[in-house]
Structure 1
Amino acid sequence: MLYRLLKYVLLGPLLRLLWPARVIGAENIPEQGGVILASNHLAVADSFFMPIRVRRRVTFPAKQEYFTEKGFKGRLKKWFFIGAGQIPIDRSSGSAAQAALDTAIRLLREGHLLGIYPEGTRSPDGRLYKGKTGVARIALEAGVPVVPVAMIGTDKVNPIGSKLWRPRRLEIRFGRPLDFSRYDGLSGDRFVERSITDEIMYALMELSDQEYVDIYADRAKELIAAEAAGVRPTVPSQPSAAEAERVPEPKAG
């Protein structure tokens, strides 16, 4: 009820009015059954503009901190994020990361539409970065298709560090569903999961027209911060198994 109230009465009409969007390929989203919407991630605003343009309810995994802040502000944020269709995910340890994967798989098996950002965090410079393999593990375990989604222009609406959203016409492109049923039974194979993830990222690159960079966005942020501080970058770090396979989710910063 709260989701529908926000989408159709309170928030949705306002976003549609102030930020009109051209939507391409919405018919590529299956009308029923579990589906992953794998999107590029340019801004916090992505998690608001994409769901209001999708007929079905979109559920996003979100970091647990969004739901545990104390006081009136914390309760208000929790109410909002739950109403917006987001679910809390604890990813503070290896067991928590697995629990996050299990939650996403359960939702998909129940027929939900799950929004995921394979990059794990928003792009620091508008380019497309290497995807984390959690999206592949989830797709294989749940046995669902992946629809690539390209958000265009949201980084101009909500630039990094901005407090107010700026007027801008947007474009949202939904690609054809990617079917990975040929890999049935191969969940847990790191080579297979890497191949699937790279296929998803290639589809996103073609759909979004972004330049692709073969490092993780987290690492790119470290390098940008080091350069800004005049610090010599260290040897590129590799994520742990839990880090690489975790559920990618909306994450500010």
Structure 2
Amino acid sequence: MAELVYPPVIGVVRTMFKALDLRFDIKGTENIPREGGAVLVSNHIGYLDFVFCGLTARPAKRLVRFMAKESVFRHRVSGPLMRGMKHIPVDRAAGMAAYQKALTALRSGEIVGVFPEATISQSFTLKSFKSGAARMAQESGVPLLPMALWGTQRLWTKGHKRDMGRNHFPITIRVGEPVEADAAEHPDSITDRLRHRVQDLLEAAQRAYPVRPRDAEDTWWMPAHLGGSAPTPEQAAALGRS
């Protein structure tokens, strides 16, 4: 079936990012398979992360079908676009339907995008991973594709105003080699290996990031363990419970 919505949306997004003068540093795109199914797994630090993950797959000429909360599909603007791009709505009260739809997509050779932390990390460190991505990869017989983003939180993230001005923000992305999901291995073990791989990629992206906070007020986007003023993981967990 022809892709009538996804390519034009990509064109609009690229134009927007060019207008914002974002500076991209992307490495590892050769690890994205040019055909066949895969579960793309990334850290989650900003509302636009799915856009950046999707654009990273374009050199391989792939379109990523992201699993996203069902409420996004009910929005009068984003809903038609999400459905037109064949993303997968997730109703947390009835998640099995989304899981089965993702399996069908993977078995038909699609790349399905998942954020296994489930929600944005307000500490900008990795939260624990849910095992759904590993189980999907096992059941469909496809690899897991680890990815890490850094800098996307400066544009738009939870608890902070959007900053979509022409600020020349750098965006650093690292894609790792595929992680195999052996059918005989416990999903929790695969998830643990996957999380460590994403952690390595995240640290590599942070080391490569070309700027540091401008002043004391600009430290909010840096994790506490790197000298920033973002909440610690424990503080961020408390914020999530409040």
Q: Please, what TM-score do these two structures have when normalized by structure 2?
A: 0.77
Rounded Cα–Cα distance in structure 1 between residues aligned with 2:77 and 2:234? 33
- Report the equivalent of 2:10: 7
Could you tell me how far 1:154 is from its partner in structure 2?
Answer: 0.7
Which residue of 1 is the match for residue 136 of structure 2?
138
Match of 1:60 among 53, 66, 79: 66
Residue of 183, 193, 198 corresponding to 1:199:
193
**Structure 1 residue 158 displacement after superposition:** 1.6
Q: Which amino acid aligns with 2:120?
A: R
Taking only the aligned residue pairs, the percentage that are identical comes to: 32
Report 1:62-211 matches (<5 A): 62-68=68-74, 74-92=75-93, 96-161=94-159, 162-165=161-164, 167=167, 168-180=169-181, 183-184=182-183, 192-209=186-203
Q: How far does residue 173 in structure 1 lie from its aligned partner after superposition?
A: 0.6
The CA distance in 1 between the partners of 2:41 and 2:193, in whole Å, is 12
Aligned residue number for residue 234 of structure 1: none
Q: Call closer, same or farther: CA 1:139–1:219 in 2, change over 3 Å.
A: farther
Q: CA RMSD in A?
A: 2.4
1:224 match: 239
Distance 1:140 1:219 in 2: 32
The CA deviation at 1:43 is: 0.5
TM superposition shift of 1:85: 4.5
Please give the secondary structure, in 1, of the residue aligned with 2:76: helix
- Report which stretch shifted further, 52-61 or 156-165: 156-165
1:36 aligns with 2:42: no
Q: How many residue pairs align between the two structures?
A: 207
Distance 1:81-1:48 versus aligned 2 partners, 3 A rule: same
> What TM-score does the superposition give when structure 1 sets the normalisation length?
0.74
Contact 2:69 2:90 in 1 (8 A): yes
Quick one: distance in 1 between partners of 2:48 and 2:176?
Answer: 20
Counterpart for residue 216 of structure 2: none
Gaps in structure 2 of 5+ consecutive residues: 207-222, 226-232
CA offsets, 1:24-50, max 9 Å, x none? Answer: 000100100001110000101111122
**Which is bigger in relative contact order (C-alpha 8 A, separation at least 6)?**
1
- State whether residues 123 and 236 of structure 2, in contact with CA within 8 Å, keep that contact through their aligned partners in structure 1: no
Residue 239 of structure 2 aligns with an amino acid whose one-letter code is: I
In structure 1, stretches of 5+ residues that fail to align are 69-73, 187-191, 230-253
- Check conservation: 1:145, 1:178, Cα contact below 8 A: yes
Residue 103 of structure 1, CA deviation: 1.3
